[in-house]
Chains A and B, each alone.
Chain A
């Protein structure tokens, strides 16, 4: 079914579930077209495994256009593979050479336990967002959209931070498995906008507390997260977050409220 001329060897991490030990297994990927995406290449391998009655390699994916943040994969030592600014599903086989051996591993971080093979559990990210990554506004009864004017440059900046897809590459790239880039992107987006002001300092405290609770490491400013982020989220977000965090600690006597209403 495939129609190309590349032949590759894949070294793939196989692990039945979080409780079982995993290991690398080698597979041949044959007749691969350079126009295939990396995930389509894996589809081809999986089809042939299925034909042999073997279990296909499990990996997370959905949109396959670089936006849902579901695909992951550590490819030859890089989250989302060797190219900058793209996700695994956007990576195409023309990036590789005929005859190459490709090593494929799951994200590795304590806070992201393995689900199966190459898929990991990133629900810690959701819990951090749940801790305060929002503006508390009920549906209805809000002002007219244009009643909150926002300078274009601010809206654009907020948007840049808001483009984070929550894939976890930043954590996977970081030697400390820090989630600072992810968390700071949301903090920055809402912190820049007028809508986010009322809860700005409370938000940063709650989200950082949850991040620590989830077992992510601390940031030592190595910058691997920024270098590997498929959406090129900037390190300056982290600076902003630190700023807000310390302001909150030093100057605002706000506590971390549990919002049980």
Chain B
């Protein structure tokens, strides 16, 4: 199978409008003859489901939470970018495009990113029209702030709860369509497989999480909007339920997996305290607008801080190393996430880490409080500060916060072409679930943008083209492929339920996380990755012998749900290792120790690795086949990323 990204011809700035014109349309009267399945109701899924229903399609939407409003998108804090140039500070579609390509370390597809920048402008308007209460200036106009990796102020926000407000906006659009009868919503349903007929996606198999009923659903197309897989690391900033199951099962049915090893590490998270911890909490990147990152200049001072004999506010100005401001004067504390993360890790490795564990650096607001006053700081970041107090029992208005990098977002995901189609025709992937747009590293405030862009403004056009081509002939679940796939799912569920071993699936998950973080986290080596591969294979074999799964299928069974997700994470973990092994360059948040410059910066290898890795599943326990989508850059010059 050859990969075709279906990038339209013509100049970058005209590709999307030309493509939209070339795409086939479905006649308005025919739209109601098509059934669309949307899995996931985060920003990508809710916006897609609502928009497609508005157009007239019949939509069935699914999520595993008890309400679409609880999708993980709700947790996003910082903001959403758009090239509005309301601040008159030199922003433009091209600059947003350029920053995103560069921030992604030249491993994203130019055409997609350009379209994203173009569409970004409409997203804000759409959300405002829905009643999303964005922050405003006194004059009544929209307010902006800046985010890591950019020198303009283009981030729109709603206090520290932007994701919540955007999702509630999309949820309300979805609700309107549910009320109108155009969307049928299935909550507490987990998708467990994709049904394909003649190579086309025609439906899904779900488990009703209340009753255990395993059902099939048919449609002319299936949209996966199921989010990212950071929880493969066990500890991440993602919600507990975030998982890879939908994408992974689709992968096993033929959808290629793109760049699985591309993980984003976020620099400003609350550090781990003990092994009871179930997740990590992000402190929004927006804090770096006013907070200054520092570590003590010497190991001796760090030791005193760790022991608690010295307090952070007692450390003299001369004894503080504002390492980001020192090394990257142009961007200072606002360098991109991978750069900030790597530098924090370096400080810790030099013995200059702080906090009880030593795995932390400071994020200090003392200067900001002096400059702006506590009230202003509170107005800007109040809820984040409260959250920090809640978790750590420390007061960041008095002492600097302790922060450390944590896994946050996955740039890898199902491979999609320009139309967001996976390699299975009729199966689409939107939002964090796909691999596109971010490259090897995601700039802040761009995931929300991508989710909404895909759902509101891309898929409604590109899906129509496919539907017009296949025609409205009814699909229903009577085809034997549905029963067959359902039986496969039942067999898998039964196999899990038969596991009556000695170790909980949570313990397996934690072990997997340790392996992934240690060997496939912020820094990777050939040797480490090889070792990790063996460890994961052993873990997988052990899981299927010794895991414990309690209860039965025909009831609410969190133990079973978790077991299925952990089993998929283990398999994905192995593929991530293979992908990381293959990619012998450093790019984005993925630092290959063997590939660095003389002064220790990440060193890309454009000659050999300017491609998207798309992996094809070849059968259980078989090595996957690597396909390469070569990336070509017309509008930007590949250059070493340099923020100094």
Q: Is the CB of A145 within 8 A of B128?
A: yes
Check: B199 CB closer than 8 A to any chain A CB: no
Check: B424 CB closer than 8 A to any chain A CB: no
Closest-by-CB residue of B relative to A193 is B131
Check: B172 CB closer than 8 A to any chain A CB: yes
> With A63-B74, A126-B67, A139-B457 in contact, do A53 and B129 touch (Cβ < 8 Å)?
no
CA distance A29 to B277 in the complex (A): 16
> C-beta contact mask, A9-22 vs B, less than 8 Å → 1, else 0?
00000001100000
A-B contacts counted at CB < 8 A amount to 233
> With A40-B278, A135-B130 in contact, do A155 and B135 touch (Cβ < 8 Å)?
yes
> C-beta contact mask, A36-59 vs B, less than 8 Å → 1, else 0?
110110011001001101111010
Q: Is the CB of A159 within 8 A of B276?
A: no
Q: Is the CB of B274 within 8 A of A33?
A: yes
CA distance A70 to B65 in the complex (A): 8
Return chain B residues, CB-CB under 8 Å to A37: 278, 391
Among residues 218 to 276 in chain B, which have CB atoms less than 8 Å away from a CB atom of chain A? Answer: 239-241, 273-276
Stretch at the interface among A116-124, A172-180, A218-226, A241-249: A116-124
Q: Is the CB of A139 within 8 A of B239?
A: no
Check: B597 CB closer than 8 A to any chain A CB: no
Check: A250 CB closer than 8 A to any chain B CB: no
Return chain A residues, CB-CB under 8 Å to B500: 53
Which one of A130, A133, A152 lies within 8 Å of B137 (CB-CB)? Answer: A152
Return chain A residues, CB-CB under 8 Å to B176: 130, 134, 136, 259
Q: Is the interface of A mostly helix, strand, loop or mixed?
A: loop
CA distance A216 to B159 in the complex (A): 32
Closest-by-CB residue of A relative to B129 is A142
Among residues 138 to 193 in chain B, which have CB atoms less than 8 Å away from a CB atom of chain A? Answer: 138-142, 158-159, 161, 164-165, 168, 171-173, 175-176, 178-181, 185, 187
CA distance A148 to B281 in the complex (A): 35
> C-beta contact mask, A50-76 vs B, less than 8 Å → 1, else 0?
110111101011111111111000000
Return chain A residues, CB-CB under 8 Å to B171: 129
Check: B315 CB closer than 8 A to any chain A CB: no
Stretch at the interface among B105-113, B483-491, B550-558: B550-558
Return chain A residues, CB-CB under 8 Å to B122: 140
Among residues 524 to 543 in chain B, which have CB atoms less than 8 Å away from a CB atom of chain A? Answer: none
Return chain B residues, CB-CB under 8 Å to A40: 276-278
Which one of B136, B168, B185, B457 lies within 8 Å of A155 (CB-CB)? Answer: B136
Return chain A residues, CB-CB under 8 Å to B168: 162
Q: Is the CB of B69 within 8 A of A126?
A: yes
Which one of A3, A86, A165, A195 lies within 8 Å of B274 (CB-CB)? Answer: A3
Q: Is the CB of A53 within 8 A of B558?
A: no
Return chain A residues, CB-CB under 8 Å to B457: 139-140
> C-beta contact mask, B286-299 vs A, less than 8 Å → 1, else 0?
00000000000000
Closest-by-CB residue of B relative to A132 is B179
Among residues 61 to 76 in chain B, which have CB atoms less than 8 Å away from a CB atom of chain A? Answer: 65-70, 72, 74-75
> With A64-B240, A131-B179 in contact, do A155 and B65 touch (Cβ < 8 Å)?
no
Return chain A residues, CB-CB under 8 Å to B281: 65
Check: B595 CB closer than 8 A to any chain A CB: no
Return chain A residues, CB-CB under 8 Å to B550: 50, 53-56
Q: Is the CB of A60 within 8 A of B66?
A: yes
Closest-by-CB residue of A relative to B270 is A65
Check: B504 CB closer than 8 A to any chain A CB: yes
Q: Is the CB of A47 within 8 A of B67?
A: no
Check: B482 CB closer than 8 A to any chain A CB: no
Check: A252 CB closer than 8 A to any chain B CB: no
Among residues 70 to 118 in chain A, which have CB atoms less than 8 Å away from a CB atom of chain B? Answer: 70, 85-86, 90, 92, 94, 115-116
Which one of B136, B279, B548 lies within 8 Å of A64 (CB-CB)? Answer: B279
Return chain B residues, CB-CB under 8 Å to A39: 278
> With A133-B175, A140-B126, A149-B139 in contact, do A159 and B70 touch (Cβ < 8 Å)?
no
Which one of B124, B127, B139, B387 lies within 8 Å of A66 (CB-CB)? Answer: B387
Q: Is the CB of B555 within 8 A of A138?
A: no
Q: Is the CB of A142 within 8 A of B274?
A: no
Shortest distance from the beta carbon of B137 to any chain A beta carbon, whole Å: 6
Q: Is the CB of B276 within 8 A of A142?
A: no
Check: B134 CB closer than 8 A to any chain A CB: yes
Q: Is the CB of B556 within 8 A of A146?
A: no
Q: Is the CB of B559 within 8 A of A135?
A: no
Q: Is the CB of B70 within 8 A of A70?
A: yes
Check: A205 CB closer than 8 A to any chain B CB: no
Q: Is the CB of B278 within 8 A of A115?
A: no
CA distance A165 to B138 in the complex (A): 27
How extensive is the interface on chain A, given as a class? 35 or more
Return chain A residues, CB-CB under 8 Å to B178: 130
Which interface residue of A44, A140, A195 has the most chain B CB atoms within 10 A? Answer: A140
Return chain A residues, CB-CB under 8 Å to B559: 50, 55-56
Closest-by-CB residue of A relative to B188 is A115
Check: B309 CB closer than 8 A to any chain A CB: no
Closest-by-CB residue of B relative to A144 is B125
Check: B546 CB closer than 8 A to any chain A CB: no
Closest-by-CB residue of B relative to A191 is B131
CA distance A257 to B556 in the complex (A): 37
> With A54-B550, A135-B130 in contact, do A92 and B391 touch (Cβ < 8 Å)?
yes
Check: B210 CB closer than 8 A to any chain A CB: yes
Shortest distance from the beta carbon of B612 to any chain A beta carbon, whole Å: 29
Q: Is the CB of A162 within 8 A of B133?
A: yes
Return chain B residues, CB-CB under 8 Å to A17: 555-556
Closest-by-CB residue of A relative to B505 is A50
Q: Is the CB of A145 within 8 A of B69?
A: no
Q: Is the CB of A163 within 8 A of B179?
A: no
Shortest distance from the beta carbon of B451 to any chain A beta carbon, whole Å: 14
> With A40-B277, A189-B131 in contact, do A47 and B506 touch (Cβ < 8 Å)?
yes
CA distance A140 to B133 in the complex (A): 19
Closest-by-CB residue of A relative to B159 is A159
Check: B643 CB closer than 8 A to any chain A CB: no
Q: Is the CB of A1 within 8 A of B275?
A: yes
CA distance A61 to B54 in the complex (A): 32
Which one of B125, B133, B240 lies within 8 Å of A62 (CB-CB)? Answer: B240
Shortest distance from the beta carbon of A92 to any chain B beta carbon, whole Å: 7
Q: Is the CB of A166 within 8 A of B165?
A: no
CA distance A90 to B75 in the complex (A): 14
CA distance A163 to B382 in the complex (A): 14
Q: Is the CB of A67 within 8 A of B74?
A: yes
Return chain A residues, CB-CB under 8 Å to B164: 67, 163, 165
Return chain A residues, CB-CB under 8 Å to B165: 159, 162
CA distance A225 to B400 in the complex (A): 35
Check: B196 CB closer than 8 A to any chain A CB: no
Return chain A residues, CB-CB under 8 Å to B173: 134, 137, 139
Closest-by-CB residue of B relative to A18 is B210
CA distance A141 to B84 in the complex (A): 17
> With A92-B393, A146-B86 in contact, do A119 and B556 touch (Cβ < 8 Å)?
yes
Return chain A residues, CB-CB under 8 Å to B66: 60, 70, 119, 121-123
Q: Is the CB of A68 within 8 A of B172?
A: no
Shortest distance from the beta carbon of B550 to any chain A beta carbon, whole Å: 5
CA distance A146 to B121 in the complex (A): 12
Check: B460 CB closer than 8 A to any chain A CB: yes
Which one of B47, B140, B387 lies within 8 Å of A150 (CB-CB)? Answer: B140
| Interface residue ranges, B against A (CB under 8 Å) | 47, 50-51, 54, 65-70, 72, 74-75, 84, 86, 122, 124-131, 133-142, 158-159, 161, 164-165, 168, 171-173, 175-176, 178-181, 185, 187, 210, 239-241, 273-279, 281, 386-387, 390-391, 393, 456-457, 460, 500, 502, 504, 506-507, 548, 550-551, 555-556, 558-559
Query: Given A35-B276, A138-B54, 19 more contacts at CB 8 Å?
Result: A36-B276, A40-B277, A40-B278, A47-B504, A51-B548, A55-B550, A63-B70, A66-B387, A68-B75, A92-B390, A126-B68, A126-B175, A134-B131, A137-B130, A139-B457, A145-B128, A151-B140, A152-B140, A259-B176
User: Considering the complex of A and B, which 7 residue pairs feature the smallest CB-CB distances, nearest first?
Assistant: A149-B140, A134-B172, A142-B129, A159-B133, A155-B136, A145-B128, A116-B556
Q: Could you write out 6 A-B pairs with CB less than 8 Å apart?
A: A1-B275, A17-B555, A60-B66, A64-B279, A116-B556, A152-B140
